[in-house]
Amino acid sequence: MLTGFCALLHKDLTLERRGGRVVIELCVLSLLVLVVLVVAYGPETGGRPESAAGALWVALILSGLPGASLAVAAEHENDCLTGLRLSPLEPATIYAAKVAAVALSMAVSQAATLLLLVLFFNLQFDLNLLRLIPILLLGTLGLCALSTLLGTITSRLRAGEMLLALLTAPLYVPELIAGVKASAAVLSGASLAAVVLPLKILAACDLLFVVCGYLLFEYLAG
Amino acid sequence: MTTALVEALSLSVMFGLRPVLTEVNLKLERGRAAVITGANGAGKSTLVHALCGLIGLSAGQARMFGQDIRRLRADDRRRVGVTLHRSMLYLNLTARENLEFYAKLNACQKPSEQAARWLERLGLGAVAEQRARDLSRGMEQRLALARAMIGEPELVLFDEPFASLDRQGAAVVGELIQELLARGGAALLTSHEPLTVKGAEPENYQLVSGRLLPAAAQPSRRTAWRWMLT
Ligand SMILES: Nc1ncnc2c1ncn2[C@@H]1O[C@H](COP(=O)(O)OP(=O)(O)OP(=O)(O)O)[C@@H](O)[C@H]1O
Ligand SMILES: [Mg+2]
């Protein structure tokens, strides 16, 4: 199972390195989002940690969701997903490797987003920024797990069934609320106690999405 | 009792309300090959998909190695090699990388050596470092066949294996099938025209109106009419 996982991940990263589609697309998107928000907020509100946290998460969503659909679509290009389904791999392994690959590309683009955020919103390079990292990692994992799962569903649908994509959107909400709250708290220098609850919610959502994807992928990809 | 490597038991497939395969019965034992011919749209590819468990059946059962296809163990999936219309190759990976990837999925001992061996075998040595996107149609078909063979399968299901192959490519595929049968494997091939497999006497079938008929008893035009009228 581990060899299969590694082979898949290696393949996805090679493709990514070659095409560079996901990472570049995500970086460009988050850059544009940050520009729009920093201009819209203006100098006063822009300086507040809440604004920075909001901008960060908007960039995250806008870059995370297309990332997962691109990664899933790549598997459909030449019926490669059928090739994987015919192989001895467990469907759950395919899902895990896909999530890992998407999460890695997203993490790269997030590093860029974070850098831009610091520049645009005049944040300090300090400990608070470091404390943001676990929150971002948890958020990325959850977003990737869910969007890979939903991307797998929607990639098989015809246009008329796209309503499903709309209906599943609320699933992201708890993760987002917790993520924004935790980021804002951390950026404004609040104590650790203030972030424990949002972090717990983030972790719970992650667990839920990963387990669901792991169990359901077999039926969704089929 | 020998278990059949692949078996269809009254297998039926419907797309929507339209029956595409009706009550197909097929059994392939070790050392045997079957050739299924049929017109375009007769349902040959659908049969291959159904036998591999890629589409749902409306009735009947598909079995491999004596197990229901939906419950086939991962270890047993390694014993099957399949080619379909689409090559299932990653277009942005090179020919060698594609084979190495599939070798690893099949838990081959030395993926890179296996890949090199199969590239050589199918005459792809010169294009090993080319991306699959840039391969010619026939080269892509050869690579797809190498992909299916790299796990040393016991059972192969090839959907139109000779499509776009030149004479030399077709000869190599013929040899591969011959070797497979000699070591006790089985092969199921589809084609839109009758095939001969060198060194083997394949069972010939024909798909007509979703039914699998022995090609020996091909309905002549008159009996076909009679069959349609009854
Ligand atoms: N996913 C699908 N949904 C609906 N109809 C389908 C689907 N796949 C195949 N069909 C229909 O089933 C019939 C059989 O198709 P199939 O691809 O099995 O034919 P074939 O014998 O392989 O033809 P060819 O020689 O052209 O490859 C066709 O009429 C086709 O339109
Ligand atoms: Mg076909």
Which ligand has the nearest atom to the CA of B39? 1
Query: Which chain A residues have any C-beta within 8 angstroms of a chain B C-beta?
Result: 3-4, 6-8, 10-11, 14-15, 18-19, 77-80, 82-90
Please state the rounded mean pLDDT for residues B118-125: 95
Q: Which of B211, B183, B158, B176 is nearest to B42 (CA)?
A: B211
Reduced to 3 states (helix: H, G, I; strand: E, B; else coil), residue A20 is coil
Q: What is the pLDDT of residue A160?
A: 52
Q: Does residue B68 carry a pLDDT above 80? A: yes
Q: For residue B94, what is the DSSP state?
A: B
> Which H or E run includes B214?
strand B211-214
In terms of Cα–Cα distance, which of B201, B186, B158 is closest to B31? B186
The reported pLDDT for the residue numbered A157 is: 67
- Does the beta carbon of B210 lie inside 6 Å of ligand 1? no
pLDDT at B219: 44
- Burial category of B128 from C-beta neighbours within 10 Å (exposed 0-12, middle 13-18, buried 19 and up): middle
Specify the higher pLDDT residue, A178 or A127. Answer: A178
pLDDT of residue B207: 93
> How many beta carbons lie within 10 A of that of residue B85, not counting itself?
12
The answer to whether A94 and A86 are in contact (CB under 8 A) is no
Distance from Cα A61 to the centre of ligand 1, integer Å: 39
Query: Tens digits of per-residue pLDDT, B204-218?
Result: 999 998 999 998 644
Q: How confident is the model at residue B140 (pLDDT cuts 50, 70, 90)?
A: very high
Average pLDDT value for chain A: 85
Q: Identify the band that residue A68 occupies on the pLDDT scale cut at 50, 70 and 90.
A: confident
Q: Quick one: average pLDDT of B44-62?
A: 94
pLDDT band at B1 (very low <50, low <70, confident <90, very high): low
Confidence grade of residue A158 (pLDDT, cut at 50, 70, 90): low
Asked if the model's pLDDT at residue A77 lies above 80, the reply is: yes
Give the residue extent of every domain in chain A: 2-220
Measured distance CA(A197)–CA(A203) in Å, rounded: 10
Closest atom, ligand 1, to C-alpha of B44: 21
Summarised one tens digit per residue, pLDDT across range B8-46 is 999 999 998 999 999 999 999 999 999 999 999 999 999
pLDDT of residue A162: 65
Whether B51 shows a pLDDT value over 60: the answer reads yes
Contact yes or no for B104 and A86 at CB 8 A: no
Is this complex's ipTM strictly greater than 0.90?
Answer: no
**What tokens were used for B65?**
């190695």
- The ligand 1 atom nearest the CA atom of B192: 25
Mutate to test the interface with B, among A13, A75, A78 (most CBs of B within 10 A): A78
**Would you state the structure tokens that stand for residue B133, as one six-digit string?**
């996107």
Of B2, B49, B52, B1, nearest in space to B21 by CA:
B49
Name which of A147, A104, A88 is nearest A11 in CA terms: A104
CB contact under 8 Å between A14 and B93, yes or no, is yes
Query: What's residue A21's pLDDT?
Result: 67
What sign does the CA torsion over A122, A126, A128, A133 have?
A: positive
- Please write the tens of the pLDDT for every residue from A185-196: 988 888 888 889
More confident residue, A48 or B151: B151
Q: Which of the four pLDDT bands, split at 50, 70 and 90, describes residue A20?
A: low
Distance B42 CA to ligand 1 centre (A): 7
Burial readout A160-189 (b: 16 or more C-beta within 10 A, e: otherwise): eeeeeeeeeeebbeebbebbbbbbbbbbee
Residue-level pLDDT at A190: 81
Mean pLDDT of A161-174: 77
